A and B are shown apart, each in its own frame.
Chain A
């Protein structure tokens, strides 16, 4: 009985997230330029297991990937920093989006 009661809690608890920050900037183009622009998005992650952090350059990696995704002009760049929680580990995520023209 206890196991049956515990199970939904475990399922519910194993997939939580926390968004720490969303930042956007740079809507400076005219409308004509924005309508022609293409939307680009990259995500990089950092795994932390038992408080040991790996991939410590994941933010720089996101910026590099975004630049590679758009060789031209990037505007309206937004950054979301969030964490997905887990059992003695968690994953920090950086999601960068922008308009490429």
Chain B
């Protein structure tokens, strides 16, 4: 019991930041002072196949290990395709970014837009993040 508790604590603390993509646009410092603005949206990523594969490795009985191994293979087949990080269950979570960015800048003039795709990864669970940092020309 103590071993499970200690393992859980270690797993909870062992998160990693992951950077997938960064891109920066034109920077205009000629029109006035700049104010930093930022918008971040995120969604829970979960790799069901990898989780099941880990469960199969940890299973004590041979039959459970076989069944979980089969399940992991089936789940992988149902989730085929390229992926950045863990899969999410909503592909429209990053849609309101432009409006949110515009709301933060009263002048409407935004420069030095940094598009960042990153994640906080906890193994098979992660927070998949889309972030836009920019400067508002005041």
Asked whether A83 and B109 contact (CB < 8 A) given A17-B91, A19-B88, A22-B115, the answer is no
A87: chain B residues at CB < 8 Å are 77-78, 80
A88 near B77: Cβ-Cβ < 8 Å: yes
Given contacts A9-B71, A34-B102, A84-B81, contact A16 B25 (CB under 8 A): no
List residues of chain B with CB within 8 A of the CB of A28.
109
Q: Mark B94-111, 1 if CB is under 8 A from A, else 0.
A: 110110011001111111
Interface SS of chain B: helix, strand, loop or mixed?
mixed
Contact: A31 with B84, CB < 8 Å? no
B: contact size bracket: 35 or more
Residues of A with C-beta under 8 A to B83 = 18, 83, 85
Give Cα A82–Cα B128 distance, bound, in whole angstroms.
13
| Cβ-defined contact, B88 with A17, below 8 A | yes
| A19 engages B25 (CB within 8 Å) | no
Which of B81, B88, B90, B98 interacts with A90 by CB under 8 Å?
Answer: B81
With most chain A CB atoms within 10 A of its CB, the pick from B91, B109, B113 is: B91
A48 CA / B81 CA spacing, docked (Å): 8
Interface code A1-20, partner B: CB below 8 Å = 1, 0 otherwise? 01000100110111111111
Question: How far does the Cβ of A10 sit from chain B's closest Cβ, in whole Å?
Answer: 7
For chain A, residues 29 to 43, give those with C-beta under 8 angstroms from any C-beta of chain B.
29-31, 33-35
* Total residue contacts A-B, CB cutoff 8 A: 134
B82–A24 contact, CB under 8 A? no
Binding site of A, secondary structure by majority: helix, strand, loop or mixed?
strand
- Please indicate the chain B residues that have their CB under 8 angstroms from the CB of A92 in the complex: 81-82
A14 to B78: give the CA distance in the assembly, Å.
Answer: 6
Determine how close the nearest CB of chain A comes to the CB of B70; give it in whole angstroms. 9
Q: Which B residues touch A2, using CB under 8 A?
A: 67
- Judging by beta carbons under 8 Å apart, are B91 and A93 in contact? yes
Contacts of B56 in A (CB 8 A): none
Closest beta carbon of chain A to B85's beta carbon, Å = 7
List residues of chain A with CB under 8 Å of any chain B CB.
2, 6, 9-10, 12-31, 33-35, 48, 76, 78, 80, 82-93, 95, 97
A-B contact pairs, 9 of them (CB 8 A): A19-B128, A20-B21, A22-B115, A27-B113, A34-B108, A84-B91, A87-B78, A90-B80, A97-B98
